[in-house]
A = this chain, B = another copy of it.
Amino acid sequence: MNLKKTTSGVAALLEDENFFHPGFSIDCVVFGFHENTLKVLLTQYKGFDFWQLPGSFVLKNEDVDVAANRILKELTGLDNIYLSQFHLFGSTNRRLSMRADTPEIFRKEYNVEIDKHHWFANRFITMGYYALVDYTKVKITPLTANERVEWKDYDSRLPEYADHRTIVEKAMETIRFQLNRIPIGRELLPEKFTMTELRILYETLLDRTLNRRNFERKILSYDYVEKLNERRKGVAYKSPNLFSFNDEKYNEAEIKGFYMPWL
């Protein structure tokens, strides 16, 4: 799938009216968890000073979910990503960019004139997908040659970028609401993790502290988390035990949901 990863490709893309499903795009909110911090993948296009969500278009005869998986695979190098639709953004003021200086930047940086009648300059309906990935496994590859993609902290100092802040917040809200239905720990943590890491993940998502003792007891009461005979090395103070998920038992549990009293 060649999505024209060259600067001149932008011009070609603009002419490709029949290549893509018209007036429709996909935006991806990719979450990772690293050093006890929630991260989001953001991208910065050449010439623009703000960061936005990585996204792309759907081919004329491509399943939308397949397109989302294709984009995520290209972006992270990962197959079988946990990927879920969370909201359709269909307000009338959604454009390629809502910033007034966009045509100017396109002219200057890409040598492309954006005509106001071109579908590219008109309203987009965007499907928001969120992805949960193992930070340690991701190898970032920007979707085009005109952008750079980086992990950014998910917190109040998230960089500015059009209505994409709204989109990230909606993704987060969806995840919080569905926390008892999402295998969030297994998707965001590496294969081996400490109980404190799992707890801090939940504390971050819930935005409150959880009782250390009761958290561990509850988690271990389900048999899908296994205590390994192994400890994290090279840390200050007492080295904590490592745990891992038993995938088979986790999948069984997924049907019933992941009820925990503090959700």
A residues lining the B interface (CB < 8 Å): 21-24, 58, 60-65, 67, 85, 87-88, 90-92, 123, 125, 127, 177-178, 180-181
Contact = CB atoms under 8 A, between A and B. Distances in A.
Contact of A181 (B88, B123, B177): B177
Contacts of A90: 58, 63-65, 67, 127
Contacts of A88: 64, 85, 88, 127
A144 to B, nearest CB: 23
Is chain A's binding surface mostly helix, strand, loop or mixed? Answer: mixed
A-B pairs, 4 with minimum CB distance: A64-B90, A22-B22, A63-B91, A61-B92
A37 to B, nearest CB: 27
A220 to B, nearest CB: 21
Q: How many copies does the complex hold?
A: 2
Contact of A92 (B62, B123, B178): B62
Nearest to A87: B85
Nearest to A22: B22
Given A58-B125, A61-B123, 6 more contacts: A21-B123, A22-B23, A63-B90, A63-B91, A65-B90, A88-B88
A48 to B, nearest CB: 25
B92 A63 contact: yes
A121 B252 CA distance: 42
A62 B123 CA distance: 10
A180 B177 CA distance: 9
11 contacts: A21-B125, A58-B90, A58-B125, A62-B92, A63-B90, A64-B88, A64-B125, A65-B91, A85-B87, A85-B88, A90-B127
Nearest to A177: B181
Contacts of A127: 88, 90
A142 to B, nearest CB: 24
A180 B23 CA distance: 35
B125 A24 contact: yes
By CB atoms of chain B within 10 A, which of A67, A87, A123 has the most? A123
A245 B17 CA distance: 52
A10 to B, nearest CB: 22
A22 to B, nearest CB: 5
Contacts of A67: 90
By CB atoms of chain B within 10 A, which of A21, A24, A88, A91 has the most? A88
